[in-house]
Structure 1
Amino acid sequence: MPKLVKSPLTIILVLLGFTLASFWALIAWKGVQERALAFAKAGSETQGLTHSLAQHASKSFNAVSLALFGTGQYIRHSDKSARASAEINDLLAQYAKNIPQARELGVLGESGDWMFSSFETVPAVNNGDREYFLYHQSHPEDATPRISEPLISRVTGRPTLLMTQRLPNPDGSFGGVVFAAIDLAYFRSFYQGFEAEQDRTVTLMTTSGKVLVHRRDDQVGKDIARSSFMDHLKDSGAGLYSIVSPFDGRTKQIAYEAASDFPIVVTVAVPEDAILDGWRRDRNFDVLLGGTVSTILIGLGIVLAVQIRKRSAMARMLRERERGYRLLAENVEDVVTRFDRTGHRLYISPSVEKLFGWSPSELLEQPAFSNIHPAHRDLVKGLIEELGPERLTGNVEYLTRCSDGKYVWVETQMNYVDDPEEPGPEIVGVIRDISKRKAAEEQLISANEQLKALSETDPLTGIANRRRFDRMLELEFKRCQRSNSRISVLFIDIDKFKSFNDTCGHSAGDGCIRQVAETIASCLKRPADLVARYGGEEFAVLLPETSSGNAEIVAEKIRASVHDLSIAHQGSPLGRITISLGIAGGKCDARTSPASLLAAADGALYVAKEHGRNRVCAAAETPSVTLVRPVG
């Protein structure tokens, strides 16, 4: 037995068998781990994309909801004249033009007939029998926007998804429905940019299981309410799991997220075959490498029964493995880098040249943080300083400079690594270009800002509308209370404007209103002063930090400036357009409120009218009694 143990052949066989078994166990373990990692990485990316697309869908639907709200407010505060109807149609057309996901907008009256439309002409169609119309008619308590089931438009004949909202009369009774047709082609076009990679499929559907947008047109409108997906959706509003697709029968990893504000769900599905393509290539390479190494080890073990040859074979195996990992690091699109705690780069992968135009050698020679935008350097330095044994990883977004001098947005995930065999701790970073995502976010923010500005601007004069005036009066009144200062409000009315409108026509009347609005605005010099068209021929002026006496000076200047316009008016005793002004002002204490200021200014305006017009009248310094203009 001792002789057998001491036999070189036996020792080589034992060591060779142990080495090969361990090696293949390692390959199997590596395959299992990398397969799980491939699924985890794909799942993380899919969930991140799903979350972004769900936010995009929610914001897109919210933009349409804001348009419906703005339309309802405009209708509620407008009169029933033909001019007001034309303004509402123009407003709907502007919404349809400025909101790409809204194909058309319209308003149905209480009987279901079209009242207003973003089309050039209002369709002569009755939608009183539609489900959404009957719902709003019978549910006065529900004033929120509502998503309809897909239907065929009676006007365009196209498949349509509607967002609708109840339009109440002043007394709260049913006054009709304001609606917008969601352009599903907008979402299909947007999703196509994300479906090229890994054979992804992005689907937009209702929470009831009705498919709205899908990669395949023949699947649009399909009802998957009975699929297992709906069971997951009932349990959680967002998630990730594997499923046999109800669309093509393939096994896929699917991430889903329901919008928080609307009954819609976004799903992103990736076939498991596509997820595992890279893993299979690595596995086949590992198997080939393992077979090769095993053959070499067996050959070397048979031919050379010495320990040095065994060590040489193991070193070769390790070099091959290192080469495989290096090839992987050098061929991924993301940039892999290593640097010390001072930011000095130790390594950067060749993919940096594709993303930023720098070669690895050029970047390694440059000073730390030199390519980071000056405004973001402290942000990056701060994260590096925070990383350590207590915090091992972190993410940061910043601008970095390319070789052509331009800056691009990147996201870097940093991981703290403290290897005892290295001189000191290091940071391993993975850099990813996020310029497209940042551009999309900025476009959405800009669209929302434009929509807000549009909803607070009078379309005829270009000055603020009543909604903005009321909001700014509330803000300035609260600021006045905090600073114990004074505030004044002017109410302005064009004298005998109805007579002017009837004599000269609506076009001349609109021109007159625009000239008066421009003249009033030109008399206000401070940035905080605000003029707004309050309704019809009435204007309101907000003068923060202004006493009633100083407000009278401004008011008299406005009155004189309008008088000097010399707009001919046969119905006026002076033969020209004039205005009457009411002033209310004082301290913002417990006895006053924005409503009492407006009421006092309105009462003062009435007094100015009663005493001959073309004059300025002021209310009491601290109005505490609500004045109401008499009817007629």
Structure 2
Amino acid sequence: MVFRAKVFFFIVCVSLLAVSSWQAWKAREEHINDSETNIVNMARALAQHGDDTFKAADIILSGVVERLEADGVDDVQKPRLHKLLQKRVSEVSQLAGVFILDADGNPVVDSSDTPFSGNISDRNYFQYHRDHKDRGPYIGPLIKNPAGAWRLTVSRRFDYPDGRFRGVVLAAIDIDYFRNFYSTFKIGDNGLIILGLNDGTLLVRRPFFDKYVGYNLSKVPIFRDYVTKNHHGTHTAPSTVDGKDRINAYRHFNQFPLFVAIALSKEEVLDSWVEDTLHHTAAILLLIVILALLGNWLLRQIKLRLETEAELRVARDNLDQLNRHLQNLALEDGLTGLANRRHFDIALSQEFARALRNKDSVALIMLDVDWFKQYNDIYGHRAGDDCLRRIAALLRQVPQRTGDLVARYGGEELVVLLPQTTLESAALIAERIRADIVALDILHAASPLTIVTVSAGVAMIEPSQESGKSGEPEELVEEADRALYVAKARGRNCVARHDDVKIDSAFP
């Protein structure tokens, strides 16, 4: 029982740990999934924000292009255009300036108070519009102005009525606008936000480092294997910078050739999960310790109870043994070790009742040591006791079946109870006993035979319901006693049957 209890407590503790581990792992997966969902939503929001930012600038450019192509650019229009550009820049916070360039790359009008001077025909965006008839917006490469600020250009071409190239309208977007906006997001100490062109040019990076502006991402695995091949998605991989796992989400703009990518440190994402798991694990371990202490106490109590029960069983067995011993003493003759008179009376009643139920017979042999008083007078009572013990030892070998009983009936009288035995069989047994006692050759000077002998009376009864006699067990004893009297009258050292009493009328 103690072993089963130990196994039970072990299974409970292991089950608690298993369930706790499974819940912790499930919580970890849910935490990662939630983080992936969050950065996917963040990427969608940032892409939409970028689209809206560039779209706002492009709308301004579209309006300027329409006005230029309708009204042209002359000395009368320039002041009005200058005010218009200034107003538009003041209305859109991401714009650093709007510029109008002629077909040779010379500035015509801009939004600044100090007009820009110098030819920019060598710039990428100017050459693109000059060489392409595409009227849509063009996102040019990064430009660093003389003050050291990075700008991203959005430009459109405007033409003469006959379709010839007339110039470029340019909007400069301040990169700090994106950098400041991206800094408002909580992405952890090792998180990353990147804004880049679809050709792999890095525009904005958070955290910001000037050296990364304009960096080519074409060889970076996340860009090469995922961004270039999908419009949006997520991916978890070790960082090429520090080798730590990062959860990445990316998304291309819908209207402009740019993309935004977000990376979160998996370690930082799981920080709160680790803290919760540690607290939960500590609580589980504390619970297991409490269970172990309670279980240990319970096991001790169980063990103590089992030991007490074992001691009680031993005490009970000892008491039963003592009771049996006392019972045996109560039913045993102290001198010969045979059953005593009380034991005999109980056995006789039981066998009589059994014979009555089974319609069977019960036989009885009653023995008396011949001239035993004289034996005691000659040899003393101690010798008489030894004589009875030797005869009892011989008689103890007679019972061969369950129910057979040898008892000391009183003084030198002994009885042998034989259930399910006929009168003839009982007489033969009595004769064998008589002969065996003669063979003991116990000296008896007062006996005519000079040795100890016995007389035996044999009786048999078959109980019947019709008899109506309540004293039938005693009747068997009386019949055996009468037969014994006949044996003594015949000169002793012989066996008489109860039917001999009727034949031999000389003895009442």
Which one of the candidate residues 115, 134, 137 is aligned to 1:122? 115
Aligned residues: 299
Which one of the candidate residues 162, 170, 190 is aligned to 2:161? 170
Q: Is the 8 A contact 1:224 1:246 kept in 2?
A: no
2:174 corresponds to which residue?
Answer: 183
1:299 is displaced (CA, Å) by 1.8
Task: Tell me how far apart the structure 2 counterparts of residues 252 and 237 of structure 1 sit (CA, whole Å).
Answer: 20
1:480 corresponds to which residue?
Answer: none
Which one of the candidate residues 23, 26, 32 is aligned to 1:33? 26
Task: Tell me how far apart the structure 1 counterparts of residues 41 and 166 of structure 2 sit (CA, whole Å).
Answer: 43
1:196 is displaced (CA, Å) by 6.1
Amino acid of the residue matched to residue 195 of structure 2? L
1:246 is displaced (CA, Å) by 4.2
1:221 is displaced (CA, Å) by 2.5
Q: 1:247 to 1:64 in 2, by over 3 A?
A: farther
Q: Is the 8 A contact 2:196 2:260 kept in 1?
A: yes
* Farther-moved stretch of structure 1 (176-185 vs 17-26): 17-26
User: Percent of pairs identical after alignment?
Assistant: 27
Which one of the candidate residues 49, 52, 57 is aligned to 1:59? 52
Task: Tell me how far apart the structure 1 counterparts of residues 273 and 198 of structure 2 sit (CA, whole Å).
Answer: 35
Task: Tell me how far apart the structure 2 counterparts of residues 103 and 79 of structure 1 sit (CA, whole Å).
Answer: 24
Task: Tell me how far apart the structure 2 counterparts of residues 173 and 156 of structure 1 sit (CA, whole Å).
Answer: 35
Q: 1:249 to 1:14 in 2, by over 3 A?
A: closer
1:150 corresponds to which residue?
Answer: 142
Q: Is the 8 A contact 2:188 2:265 kept in 1?
A: no
Task: Tell me how far apart the structure 1 counterparts of residues 242 and 208 of structure 2 sit (CA, whole Å).
Answer: 10
Q: 1:80 to 1:16 in 2, by over 3 A?
A: closer
1:216 corresponds to which residue?
Answer: 208
1:70 corresponds to which residue?
Answer: 63
Q: Is the 8 A contact 2:236 2:248 kept in 1?
A: yes
Q: Is the 8 A contact 1:108 1:116 kept in 2?
A: yes
Structure 2 portions without partners, runs of 5+: 303-508
What is the TM-score normalised by the length of structure 2?
0.56
Amino acid of the residue matched to residue 241 of structure 1? H
Structure 2 counterparts to residues 304-315 of structure 1, below 5 A: 304-305=298-299
Q: 1:15 to 1:102 in 2, by over 3 A?
A: same
Report whether the alignment pairs 1:133 with 2:140. Answer: no
- What is the root-mean-square deviation in Å for CA atoms of aligned residues? 2.1
Structure 2 counterparts to residues 288-437 of structure 1, below 5 A: 288-305=282-299
1:234 is displaced (CA, Å) by 2.1
Query: What SS is found at the alignment partner of 1:236?
Result: coil
Structure 2 counterparts to residues 510-529 of structure 1, below 5 A: none
1:255 corresponds to which residue?
Answer: 249
Q: Is the 8 A contact 1:194 1:200 kept in 2?
A: no
1:133 is displaced (CA, Å) by 1.2
Task: Tell me how far apart the structure 1 counterparts of residues 147 and 208 of structure 2 sit (CA, whole Å).
Answer: 23
Q: 1:63 to 1:293 in 2, by over 3 A?
A: same
Report whether the alignment pairs 1:278 with 2:269. Answer: no
1:612 corresponds to which residue?
Answer: none
Q: 1:79 to 1:108 in 2, by over 3 A?
A: closer
Q: 1:181 to 1:248 in 2, by over 3 A?
A: farther
1:267 is displaced (CA, Å) by 1.7
Displaced runs of 4+ in structure 1, greater than 6 A?
none
Amino acid of the residue matched to residue 301 of structure 1? G
Report whether the alignment pairs 1:110 with 2:73. Answer: no
Query: What SS is found at the alignment partner of 1:203?
Result: strand
2:232 corresponds to which residue?
Answer: 238
Amino acid of the residue matched to residue 177 of structure 1? V
1:250 is displaced (CA, Å) by 3.4
Report whether the alignment pairs 1:192 with 2:183. Answer: yes
Task: Tell me how far apart the structure 1 counterparts of residues 40 and 284 of structure 2 sit (CA, whole Å).
Answer: 35
Task: Tell me how far apart the structure 1 counterparts of residues 242 and 93 of structure 2 sit (CA, whole Å).
Answer: 31
2:221 corresponds to which residue?
Answer: 228
Q: 1:81 to 1:209 in 2, by over 3 A?
A: closer
2:259 corresponds to which residue?
Answer: 265
Which one of the candidate residues 194, 209, 214 is aligned to 1:203? 194
Task: Tell me how far apart the structure 2 counterparts of residues 220 and 295 of structure 1 sit (CA, whole Å).
Answer: 57
Query: What SS is found at the alignment partner of 2:76?
Result: helix
Q: 1:48 to 1:296 in 2, by over 3 A?
A: same
Higher relative contact order (CA 8 A, sep 6+): 2
Structure 1 portions without partners, runs of 5+: 1-6, 309-632
What is the TM-score normalised by the length of structure 1?
0.45
Task: Tell me how far apart the structure 2 counterparts of residues 147 and 123 of structure 1 sit (CA, whole Å).
Answer: 21
Which one of the candidate residues 84, 87, 103 is aligned to 2:77? 84
Task: Tell me how far apart the structure 2 counterparts of residues 95 and 57 of structure 1 sit (CA, whole Å).
Answer: 18
Q: 1:25 to 1:69 in 2, by over 3 A?
A: same
Q: 1:130 to 1:279 in 2, by over 3 A?
A: same
Query: What SS is found at the alignment partner of 1:225?
Result: coil
1:621 corresponds to which residue?
Answer: none
2:42 corresponds to which residue?
Answer: 49
Structure 2 counterparts to residues 436-515 of structure 1, below 5 A: none
Determine which structure has more spread, i.e. the larger CA radius of gyration: 2
Query: What SS is found at the alignment partner of 2:152?
Result: strand
